[in-house]
Amino acid sequence: MKTDITNKATSKKVAFYTLGCKVNQYETNGMIQQFIENGYEIVDFEDYADIYIINTCTVTNMSDRKSRQMIRRAKDNNPNSLVVAVGCYAQVLMEKVDEIPEIDLALGTNKKNNVVEIIENFINDKDNSKTYIDDVMHSKEYGDFGSITYTDKTRAVIKVQDGCDRFCSYCIIPFARGVVRSRNPQNVYDEIAMIASQGIKEVVITGIHVASYGKDFKNGFGLIDLLEKIHDIPGIERIRLGSIEPLWMTNEVIERLSKLNKICHQFHLSLQSGCDDTLKRMNRRYTTSQFEEIVNNIRHTFEDAILTTDIIVGFAGETAEEFEQTYNFLKKINFYKMHIFKYSPRKGTKAENMPNQVDGNIKEFRSKKLIELSDLNEINYLKSYIGKKISVLWEEEKNGVIKGHTPNYLLAEVSVQDELLANQIVNNINNVEVIDVDEVGLALKCRLNNN
């Protein structure tokens, strides 16, 4: 039954909660901007609101669980509110939306850019459908929000691509996001130019499988071409790449990236496993030797390169020997940071029915072992910066400490009370010196030299 919203014709307080990836962050910003332009007030998710919008994620079972938790929390915050589930988890629920009674309205991944119109039609009894979920596998057009200038940070996430055609055996995302669709390059340039005019100096280029950008174009224009054009936009001083397919980093691409001085030398290469047999079962399309060659080329080209990755432990059929191969490979590569995920079977994927599923206690042991390795790598890498001079984009001041990030995305902090530093890049590296490491906050402790 549809929720009876008190004074629903004038319901104007909207709260958002975003789960998952940077693409979701971008799309939430787009939805917020639409509501602001239509006269709504945006409030904190824990506050009273007339409408709660949960931008859901379904990449793991835990993501599903968290999505459900936030949907229920919204209804607890205001039982008479309109609770709207949007995005990936809502998309894969489809006809099962009614199994979660707290959901008043569900929008799939292709409907976010029409969210205000859909909600207002629902509230005003112009449409009493509870679900707006298309078959994304047949969607061919990129769903553009238009230029999004809303951001609550000193960097802006820019979505340039949607969909994925990799179909890794463990992954549900292609079924939630559909086929590869690339954004019109001119729309990307226009949005970034508007962002730059607001004083934002850093953009993060992202997509569901951003390396596939341009695959659906007929003119051969791809991601590296897009980055070269973005590089020429005045006002933008840093361009950061989101998670990238390793095989995209060919020798040619790395060489062209090296000529773009605005490109940040922090690369998130999603490895998933350090064992060739496991990679093959995952339907990853590279070997560990290919991955290592790419890493060596990156480090040879960018001496200050920071490399991070994702790793799945306990994938179907992963033996003790395969895990040891992964562990030893990760020690060899020496990533700065690794995001470790315990494999959880996703209904509808090939891996769901694979034999030899790994016991949960074994997954837990392997996860802890890799987390310990990642933590050690991170601390050691940060300590290697003590005594060095760095460039920092200062982002926020709190309690007399200003924090920001280096071009390769290391967190830095300095103890000063000068809010004028916020959103400023100190490019004169003689002015910022690393003097210690905050091992709790995992930050470079710096001092400013008045040279």
pLDDT tens by residue, 222-279: 999 999 999 999 999 999 999 999 999 999 999 999 999 999 999 999 999 999 999 9
Range with lowest mean pLDDT among 105-114, 145-154, 376-385 = 145-154
Question: If you average pLDDT over residues 52-79, what whole number do you get?
Answer: 96
Domains detected in the chain: 8-134 (3.40.50.12160), 155-383 (3.80.30.20), 392-448 (no CATH)
| pLDDT value at residue 52 | 97
Within 10 angstroms of residue 76's Cβ, the number of other Cβ atoms is 9
Confidence of residue 1 (pLDDT cuts 50, 70, 90): very low
Which residues are registered as beta bridge partners of 241?
A: 205
DSSP 22-56: HHHHHHHHHHHHHHHHTTPEEE-TTS--SEEEEEE
Range with lowest mean pLDDT among 24-28, 38-42, 84-88, 395-399 = 395-399
* Cα distances (Å, whole numbers) of residue 416 to 70, 123, 412, 420, 443: 37, 49, 13, 11, 16
Contact (Cβ atoms closer than 8 angstroms) between residue 33 and residue 65: no
pLDDT tens digits, one per residue of 181-218: 999 999 999 999 999 999 999 999 999 999 999 999 99
pLDDT tens digits, one per residue of 21-52: 999 999 999 999 999 999 999 999 999 999 99
The torsion region of residue 200 among left (phi > 0), alpha (psi -120 to 50) and beta comes to beta
3-state secondary structure 110-150: CCHHHHHHHHHHHHCCCCCCCEECCCHHHCCCCCCCCCCCC
> Average model confidence (pLDDT) for the chain?
92
Residue with tokens 């490399």: 307
Q: Is the pLDDT of residue 2 over 50?
A: no
- CA dist 241 and 203 (Å) reads 9
